[in-house]
Amino acid sequence: MAMLFVGACDKRRAIPKNSNYLMFGHFFGFCDGEQCIEIFRLEQERLLEDTKDKYPRTDDFYQGAYVRQTSAHFDACKDLKDFFPADLLLESNHVIGQPDAGDWGGLYIEYNFDGTHQFWLLDLNKRNVPAKYHAFIDKVEEKISLLQ
């Protein structure tokens, strides 16, 4: 019986692999502190924050460990999917620009909806990124700042 209660209270339960979500976050290589890598997973009814804070790879999806955030945090960013630029889904490269090349950081974006599952690393130096993504970059950074 005690094991049931312990398992029920664990906030790091496995997340179904087939659920729809948008992951977003930023990363900075030459940085100190917990704020250097912030990655979130936005699902239909909840927001989760990654606790591993690992620098994202360019060749594979981010593997995190997630903790549920408050409903106020979810409410602050639940509309982020509305700003997602559909043109990203047409990109042939996972890396757009030169994320964090000059210690200016990068964004990690992962899209998993209705069988379409892709990820990208976007440069935070918008001179290196097509203008069609600038508003989305700004919106992601805005949402991250609301969550800190």
What are the tens digits of pLDDT across the range 46-57?
999 999 999 999
Can you list the alpha helix ranges (DSSP code H) found in 28-102?
71-77
On whether the CB atoms of residues 95 and 108 are closer than 8 A, the answer is no
Note whether residue 3 is domain-resident.
no
Note whether residue 34 is domain-resident.
yes
Note whether residue 13 is domain-resident.
no
Domain count, the chain: 1
State the CATH number of the domain containing residue 108. 3.30.1560
- The predicted-structure confidence for 63-93, as pLDDT tens digits, reads as follows 999 999 999 999 999 999 999 999 999 999 9
Beta bridge partners of 46: none
- The predicted-structure confidence for 15-47, as pLDDT tens digits, reads as follows 455 589 999 999 998 776 677 999 999 999 999
Note whether residue 7 is domain-resident.
no
For the cut 80, the answer to whether the pLDDT of residue 111 exceeds it is yes
Q: Cα(145)–Cα(27) distance, rounded to whole angstroms?
A: 13
User: In which domain, by residue range, is 119 found?
Assistant: 20-147
Q: Cα(74)–Cα(49) distance, rounded to whole angstroms?
A: 11
Note whether residue 87 is domain-resident.
yes
Note whether residue 107 is domain-resident.
yes
